[in-house]
Amino acid sequence: MKDFTEKCYDIFEQCVLDYHKTDDVDAPEVNPYSPGTVEHTLYSKNRVDAVQWHLEDIIRDPAIDPVAALELKRRIDRSNQVRTDMVEQLDDYFLRKYAGVEVLADATINTESPAWALDRLSILALKIYHMRAEVERADATEAHRAKCAAKLAVLEEQRRDLTAAIGTLLDDIAAGRKYMKVYRQMKMYNDADTNPVLYGQKG
């Protein structure tokens, strides 16, 4: 399944490039893939990551207005929930895809699901784009560019390793050597029934 994983990375990379055509966190998403396809979900997932990446940059501005910072923090929280929901949507896709696989008696479980591994690959596409931008910065010192070039080489190696590892995981699941068991995130701080600050305000 290496080809599928490489296709996933290509979609992430395409989305990162598309985002930076406007470099605007409020620009509307223009997803080139058909709704309901896994490609559409992968593209939208990376778009959420790209916007959140830049929101995290903005909120670290030392001169940001405190009121604006609070609203931005809440926007980032909402984005995190959307990101989690989309990862779980991708895991649902894999659960359906491999539902008919006969699991071997000695099959083992992986430390993370395929979708959470793809989540890391999506973030890695953003890291590589931005580190490459630092390497190419005309106003940076040679020492800065060299330092970032070394980091970029590590990120590229990590991309190759992670792509191969996800491909192997999917092959193992398809062959019954690994099995999927998805645990929903169940984030408590976004739930008015489990966050004591929120449920303490009821009544």
Residues 100 and 108: their CA atoms lie apart, in Å, by: 17
The pLDDT value given to residue 200: 74
Task: Let me know if residue 150 belongs to a domain.
Answer: yes
Task: Let me know if residue 90 belongs to a domain.
Answer: yes
Q: Is the pLDDT assigned to residue 20 strictly greater than 90?
A: yes
Task: Let me know if residue 195 belongs to a domain.
Answer: no
Task: Let me know if residue 201 belongs to a domain.
Answer: no
Q: Is the pLDDT assigned to residue 203 strictly greater than 90?
A: no
Q: With contact defined as beta carbons under 8 Å apart, do 128 and 46 qualify? A: no
What proportion of the chain, given as a percentage, has pLDDT over 70? 94
The domain in which residue 20 lies consists of 2-187
Provide the number of structural domains found in the chain.
Answer: 1
| 151, β-bridge pairs | none
Longest CA–CA separation in the chain, Å: 61
Q: Is the pLDDT assigned to residue 1 strictly greater than 70?
A: no
Task: Let me know if residue 202 belongs to a domain.
Answer: no
Residues 62 and 155: their CA atoms lie apart, in Å, by: 28
Q: With contact defined as beta carbons under 8 Å apart, do 182 and 98 qualify? A: no
Residues 10 and 35: their CA atoms lie apart, in Å, by: 18
Instruction: pLDDT band for 29, please (50, 70, 90 cuts).
Output: very high
pLDDT tens column, 85-103: 999 999 999 999 999 999 9
Task: Let me know if residue 203 belongs to a domain.
Answer: no
Task: Let me know if residue 115 belongs to a domain.
Answer: yes
User: Looking at 46-60, 150-164, 170-184, which range is the least confident one?
Assistant: 170-184
What is the residue whose two structure tokens read 């598309």? Answer: 18
Task: Let me know if residue 109 belongs to a domain.
Answer: yes
